[in-house]
Amino acid sequence: MNFADYRGIWVYLEVKDGHIAPVSLELLGAGRKLADKRKTELAGVLIGSGIKQLASTAFAYGADVVYVYDAPIFAHYRTEPYMHALLDCCRKHKPEVLLYGATPTGKDLASAIATDLPTGLTADTTVLDIEEDTGLLLASRPAFGGNIMATILCKKYRPQMATVRPKVMKALPPDPTRTGKIIEEQITLREEDVRTKVLEIVRETTKKVRIDEADIIVAGGKGMGSKEGFQLIHQLADALGAAVGASRDVVEAGWIDHHHQVGQTGVTVTPKIYFAIGISGAIQHIVGMQNSELIIAINKDPNAPIFQSCHYGIVGDAFEIVPLLIEQIKRELPNIKASSTSKEEMRHV
């Protein structure tokens, strides 16, 4: 393997509901920094049907080049056709680094590519850097239960690949005047050669706010005592129009579904306001919420580690404090429009 043949930082541009997924835009932001440091090109790979025009979004967010595979066979994500397209692109154009969002699609595709090329894959990376001279990707992620950060290197193979969790990297402010080069590619693949068929797409219908999209999250921990006690978390969330988050111990106790788990083995969140109530503040929880703009902790133990990671801390019993908060919020909230949930306004509440 001649490393000199491999050039450029690439991002797999996941398409969701006709748009480039936010995590891919975040990766373009991270990729731009790596490409500038390595003095190389930042490229995106777009696969789908009727998606060529999305290349302009990728340029606005930092890409120099976009490889496009636009054909009806790519109308819905399926491992085989997407894998063949991306393999084709990698074999022809040889990227030095290839990044994917750590979404179900990104994880599926990345592992298929890693098996076929073959090369390594660092999963769930939270920090990315590159050695300017060697081009060695430094992909760091929490390891050993979150107690250390491990930096993983892929010294012998190319491309160097990593999946990165949504909301960990920052997208650049879009610049609609930026342009780039579109390279259209094709593969020969017949529908009858693809083993998976999409028969129906069933959309999840939920009125609840999703934690990865919420501006405010009210998260509860084992300190809520029981599933019944945890209802207080739902009540506060309802009063604020917030999403409900939880620690892993709460999920394991069966008080709430895994989709609500915040942390290393759950979802990474960056809301404007994060309430951590009856949560001790284990490192595995902290890594999932530490980038929230404002963190408010309620815990009856003044020495709870959560108080090291919050902006405001209330030492006391959640069962005394939360009902008072709900009462106050219900009284004040009519004066505060649901759309205006800035830190300043929350302080008044």
Ligand X SMILES: Cc1cc2nc3c(=O)[nH]c(=O)nc-3n(C[C@H](O)[C@H](O)[C@H](O)COP(=O)(O)OP(=O)(O)OC[C@H]3O[C@@H](n4cnc5c(N)ncnc54)[C@H](O)[C@@H]3O)c2cc1C
To the nearest 10 degrees (0 to 180), the angle between helices 227-240 and 318-332 is: 20
SS3 (DSSP) at 274: strand
Contact call for residue 280 and ligand X (CB under 6 A) = yes
Q: How far is the CB of 213 from ligand X (least distance, A)?
A: 18
Rounded Cα distance between 11 and 21, Å, is 12
Using CB under 6 A, pick the residue from 102, 109, 239, 250 that binds ligand X: 250
- Report CA 214 to chain centroid distance, whole Å: 13
Rounded Cα distance between 203 and 180, Å, is 35
Contact call for residue 279 and ligand X (CB under 6 A) = yes
Which is nearer to ligand X, 165 or 248 (by Cβ)?
248
Using CB under 6 A, pick the residue from 103, 299, 309, 341 that binds ligand X: 299
Are the CB atoms for 280 and 221 separated by under 8 Å?
yes
**Helices (DSSP H) in 3-102: which residue ranges?**
22-38, 55-60, 79-93
Which is nearer to ligand X, 216 or 289 (by Cβ)?
289
Which is nearer to ligand X, 256 or 262 (by Cβ)?
262
SS3 content of the chain, % helix, strand, coil (to 5): 35, 25, 40
Contact call for residue 293 and ligand X (CB under 6 A) = no
Using CB under 6 A, pick the residue from 25, 55, 71, 282 that binds ligand X: 282
Q: How far is the CB of 218 from ligand X (least distance, A)?
A: 13
Rounded Cα distance between 129 and 57, Å, is 24
Using CB under 6 A, pick the residue from 103, 105, 261, 268 that binds ligand X: 261
198-202, long-range: CB < 8 A, 24+ apart: 198/75, 198/76, 198/78, 201/76
Beta strand pairing call for 160-164 and 121-125? parallel
Using CB under 6 A, pick the residue from 284, 290, 291, 342 that binds ligand X: 284
Rounded Cα distance between 114 and 117, Å, is 6
Q: Among 110-118, 209-217, 255-263, 334-342, which window interacts with ligand X (CB under 6 A)?
A: 255-263
Binding mask 215-244 toward ligand X (x if CB under 6 A, else -) reads ------xxx---------------------
Q: How far is the CB of 229 from ligand X (least distance, A)?
A: 8
Contact call for residue 166 and ligand X (CB under 6 A) = no
Q: Among 25-33, 51-59, 230-238, 263-271, which window interacts with ligand X (CB under 6 A)?
A: 263-271
Contact call for residue 265 and ligand X (CB under 6 A) = yes
The number of residues that bind ligand X (CB under 6 A) is 29
Structure tokens at 334: 């009519």
Binding site for ligand X (CB under 6 A): 145, 221-223, 247-250, 261-266, 278-280, 282, 284-285, 288, 298-301, 304, 317-319
